[in-house]
């Protein structure tokens, strides 16, 4: 359960490997006790470097990292009281499952009786107690992942860090493990910091997500707000699917503005960037926020004229691929079984209608 107590603080943290290019640029970030925070972003965005600095495998070039009131900048990894789960699991192949999980306790010189009890409890927590005598090579990828997690939790750390731990698993097992991890987090109340480039993974498990790009946190927010109210074009396009429109700001009215597209169509949207008339703008809208209407669009409607292209089947819904003059193609999500779809033959004129608050306009 997330609390209001800050357990980790990054203060003005910078990192460069070559003395010139900053991989992480002036990071200020608070992580709360008991939360599940995901660092999300494309390759090279700085998210893994931040995790490695927190773990102690990298040191910041500038700024400070604090854990529970203790400055970590020069503290070695084994003295940080942090559990770590890697993508490749990093299990010792010559040790049994029990010995792998017990290893952090042996390093901490705990008694044999306490080691045995804690190891059994950690294996039971991940439902792997019956595999204690096996070796990593005798386990599936999902089972190895559970053992790596048990090893990270066995010494009751203040913080558990995970570097794309599900990346090597197949899609079905990965989705199953997402729910397992979220359930375990809720049960234990330990702070999890998780790195991934998979947006679906981030939205499924996290309390909050920090979206990284070019060494900067573009947006730090709850998953619902991140999806429904992205603060810029990068976040809108990186989190979920978005349709993109290009045009010029024509007029502003409070929080909203009118944007004129290249073909002269004028639509209203939320002026997120507070852009002024005459500014070039890009507007983004989610495919499920658009509604299909047959025929030419009605005068005065907040809609785009377009042309039906094709239907793409996704199992639980279909997507209508639509052509819009002088713009990229748009996609509209339509629930499965919608009878009206039969009327949208390829080439048929359509209108894509939407509420102004769902079109987010960025400068």
Q: What is the CATH number of the domain that holds 141?
A: 3.40.50.300
Residue 190: domain span: 6-234
CATH of the domain at 286: 2.40.50.140
| Residues 76 and 156 both lie in one domain | yes
| Residues 302 and 210 both lie in one domain | no
pLDDT tens, residue by residue, 70-101: 999 989 988 888 999 888 888 999 999 999 99
pLDDT tens, residue by residue, 140-154: 888 898 899 899 989
**DSSP label at residue 355:** -
1 belongs to a structural domain: no
**Global confidence as pTM:** 0.88
199 belongs to a structural domain: yes
User: Rg of the Cα trace of the chain?
Assistant: 25
| Residues 43 and 119 both lie in one domain | yes
Sheet holding 291-294, edge to edge: 291-294, 349-353, 303-313, 317-323, 330-335
| Predicted pLDDT of residue 292 | 85
Lowest mean pLDDT among 168-172, 201-205, 237-241, 261-265: 168-172
190 belongs to a structural domain: yes
| Residues 274 and 208 both lie in one domain | no
Q: Are strands 159-163 and 82-85 parallel, antiparallel or unpaired?
A: parallel
Mean of pLDDT values over 44-62: 95
| Predicted pLDDT of residue 342 | 66
| Residues 113 and 250 both lie in one domain | no
Q: Which of 234, 262, 296 is the last residue of a domain?
A: 234
Helix 97-107 vs helix 141-153: crossing angle, to nearest 10: 20
Nearest to 49 by CA among 41, 185, 68, 8: 41
| Residues 13 and 150 both lie in one domain | yes
d(CA 183, CA 162): 16
| Predicted pLDDT of residue 297 | 62
Q: Which of 172, 200, 234 is the last residue of a domain?
A: 234
97 belongs to a structural domain: yes
Nearest to 190 by CA among 37, 29, 10, 9: 37
Q: Is 230's pLDDT higher than 80? A: yes
Beta bridge partners of 306: 350
d(CA 116, CA 34): 27
Q: Is 28's pLDDT higher than 80? A: yes
| Residues 171 and 259 both lie in one domain | no
Q: Distances from the Cα of 349 to the Cαs of 1, 131, 224, 261, 289, in angstroms?
A: 51, 61, 34, 18, 19
| Residues 149 and 265 both lie in one domain | no
| Predicted pLDDT of residue 2 | 67
Percent of the chain with pLDDT over 70: 96
Cβ distance 3 to 32 under 8 Å? Answer: yes
| Residues 53 and 202 both lie in one domain | yes
23 belongs to a structural domain: yes
182: part of which helix (H) or strand (E)? helix 171-188
| Predicted pLDDT of residue 145 | 87
| Residues 258 and 336 both lie in one domain | yes
Cβ distance 32 to 187 under 8 Å? Answer: no
| Residues 217 and 290 both lie in one domain | no
| Residues 171 and 298 both lie in one domain | no
The number of distinct structural domains making up the chain is 2
Q: Which of 234, 254, 282 is the last residue of a domain?
A: 234
187 belongs to a structural domain: yes
Tokens 């509604």 sit on residue: 291
Q: Is 229's pLDDT higher than 70? A: yes
C-beta contacts of 257-263 below 8 A and 24+ residues apart: 257/281, 257/361, 259/283, 259/361, 261/304, 261/326, 261/327, 262/325, 262/326, 262/327, 263/305, 263/325, 263/326
């Amino acid at each position: 359960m997330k609390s209001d107590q800050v357990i980790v603080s990054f203060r003005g943290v910078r990192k460069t490997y070559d003395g010139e290019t900053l991989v992480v640029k002036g990071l200020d970030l608070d992580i709360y006790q008991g939360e599940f925070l995901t660092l999300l972003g494309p390759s090279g965005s700085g998210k893994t470097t931040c995790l490695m600095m927190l773990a102690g495998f990298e040191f910041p070039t500038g700024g400070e990292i604090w854990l529970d009131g203790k400055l970590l900048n020069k503290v070695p990894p084994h003295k940080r009281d942090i559990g770590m789960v890697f993508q490749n699991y990093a299990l010792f192949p010559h040790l049994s499952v029990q010995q792998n999980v017990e290893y952090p306790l042996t390093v901490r010189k705990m008694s044999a009786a306490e080691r045995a009890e804690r190891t059994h409890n950690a294996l039971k927590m991940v439902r792997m107690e019956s595999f204690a005598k096996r070796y990593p090579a005798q386990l599936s990828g999902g089972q190895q992942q559970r053992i790596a997690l048990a090893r990270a939790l066995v010494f009751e750390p203040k913080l558990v860090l995970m570097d794309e731990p599900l990346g090597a698993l197949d899609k079905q097992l990965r989705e199953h493990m997402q729910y397992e991890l979220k359930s375990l987090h809720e049960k234990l109340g330990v702070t999890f910091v998780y790195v991934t480039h998979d947006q679906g993974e981030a939205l499924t498990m996290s309390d909050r997500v920090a979206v990284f790009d070019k060494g900067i946190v573009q947006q730090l927010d709850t998953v619902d707000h991140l999806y429904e109210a992205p603060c810029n074009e990068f976040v809108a396009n990186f989190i979920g699917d978005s349709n993109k429109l290009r045009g010029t700001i024509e007029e502003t009215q409070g929080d909203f503005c009118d944007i004129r597209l290249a073909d002269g169509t004028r639509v209203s949207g939320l002026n997120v960037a507070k852009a002024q008339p005459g500014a070039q703008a890009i507007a983004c809208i989610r495919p499920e926020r658009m509604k299909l209407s047959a025929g030419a669009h009605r005068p005065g409607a907040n809609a785009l004229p377009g042309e039906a292209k094709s239907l793409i089947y996704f199992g639980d819904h279909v997507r209508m691929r639509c052509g819009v003059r002088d713009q990229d193609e748009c996609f509209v999500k339509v629930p499965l079984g919608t009878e009206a779809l039969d009327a949208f033959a390829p080439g048929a004129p359509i209108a894509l209608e939407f509420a102004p608050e769902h079109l987010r306009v960025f400068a």
